[in-house]
Amino acid sequence: MKTILLRSVTILYPGSAFNNKTADVLIKDGKIAEVSQYIAAGDEDLVLIECQGKMLSPGFFDLNANLGEPGYETKEDLISGAAAAVAGGFTGLAVQPATHPPLHSKAEVSYIVNRSKDFLTDIYPVGCISFNREGKDLAEIYDMFLAGAIAFTDGSRPVCDSGLMSRALLYVKGFDGLIFSYPEDTSIAGKGKMNEGVMSTYLGMKGIPALAEEVFISRDLYLAEYNESKVHFSTISTAGSVSLIREAKKKGLKVSCDVAAHHLVLTEDSLADFDSNFKVKPPLRTLKDVEALIEGLNDGTIDAIVSQHTPHEIEFKDVEFEIASFGITGLQTVLPLALKAGLSPAQIAEKLAVNPRRIVNVPVPVLEPGEIANFVLFDPEEEWLFDDEANRSKSSNSPFMGQKLKGKAVLVCNKEQIVGL
């Protein structure tokens, strides 16, 4: 690996003496060699990169990505998913268990760990709560934890059985494990395809009310409190959800949550033309909800931003809206969407790099001499075209495809590997 000198870069590493300051950073043999106000280039064979206006953050970490493999490699495999992750500035991914077979035993978890061990991006499996994601019997949770699973969820399938969820929350306490809750009461959501409201009425579509999400958040908060366990809520989307979690944190409950980047910039109005690329779950909500989500990020109620990367083949999206699959590809668009939502570079480092790792007990990279270099260098002002040439995913089901976006990862480093973008 080449020796690299980053000249005049803005440091976004909490805990570093240079945090929120401009400094020079020298990377040698995959490690941080020196961080100083000024580092002379000298005569050594190094690559000098001028970084005025650019930000250096710990590599981003995504708590919610679907990569397909094993079983759905035509949507995305680990290699293509990791490539999309690098292009988006991510050096860590928590991958969902919605595979075939699901990640419900140590065999599948070990497969993910071993298959991805040489990637620049660290891939962390999230195991199932229930066997086969059926919501009936607990999966091999502790065996999966020993094999490398960092948390447990049934992905986009909510655990409807309150007793099962309660037992899962109690069980993981024994090894300080973490349950990811996808909050949706399916008996209320029914066969809804979008947010229930004025727009769903106008379009004549069945709606998913905010109540479907908020009922399950209330339930799981009660269960977590009863079992004195911690819980993490994935991809919250309503103002009511933000309020419930805010109050739970004030009470001292061990609760965290994340929001998908697209829920910060899109509303249900995007569905007026029945474009299935805007069909996601939870559905796009109202402007009031978007404003509440951004407020939740600003006041610390919402801990992290995720991609909710959900790739699909064209035949699952280029169909009538009613039968199209939910989900968009998101790994490469998280940064520009977070910037569009008004987050500062320091907030982006917090919500995309630091907090996600703390939630799942993964060490946060540090910027000190001798430490492994794990970072993303990004330019919040650079504009780029998200098209087929720029897309690194196997799938292209994104409403932002063909658009010019602002904010780009330009250099990503981890595990003695470095990629310029």
pLDDT tens-digit map of 71-114: 999 999 999 999 999 999 999 999 999 999 999 999 999 999 99
Amino acid 417 reads Q
Predicted local confidence at residue 377, as pLDDT: 98
Q: How far is CA 68 from CA 89, 284, 304, 312, in A?
A: 20, 24, 23, 9
Query: Which residue's entry shows tokens 């270099």?
Result: 373
Q: Whose CA is closest to 380, among 351, 418, 407?
A: 407
Whether residue 384 contacts residue 87, with contact meaning beta carbons closer than 8 Å, is answered with no
Strands (E), 172-262: 179-181, 194-195, 207-208, 231-233, 255-260
Q: What is the pLDDT of residue 43?
A: 66
Cβ–Cβ under 8 Å, residues 75 and 394: yes
pLDDT of residue 421: 67
Domains of the chain, each with CATH number or no CATH: 3-56+368-420 (2.30.40.10), 59-359 (3.20.20.140)
Query: Do 54 and 23 touch, CB atoms closer than 8 A?
Result: no
The helix/strand count (H/E) of the chain reads as: 12, 17
Q: Which pLDDT score is estimated for 266?
A: 98
Tokens of 26: 């020298």
* Intervals of the chain under pLDDT 70: 1, 43, 421
Strands (E), 265-416: 304-306, 375-386, 403-414
pLDDT score recorded for residue 251? 96
Whole-prediction pTM value?
0.96
Could you please report the per-residue DSSP string of 208-265? E-HHHHHHHHHHHHHHHHHHT--EEE-S---HHHHHHHHHHHHHT--EEEEEEGGGGT
Read off the tokens for 400: 């932002």
Instruction: Please give the Cα distance from 230 to 380 (Å, whole number).
Output: 34
Q: Tell me what pLDDT residue 45 has.
A: 81
Q: Are 147 and 113 in contact (CB under 8 A)?
A: yes
Side chain identity, residue 247 = E
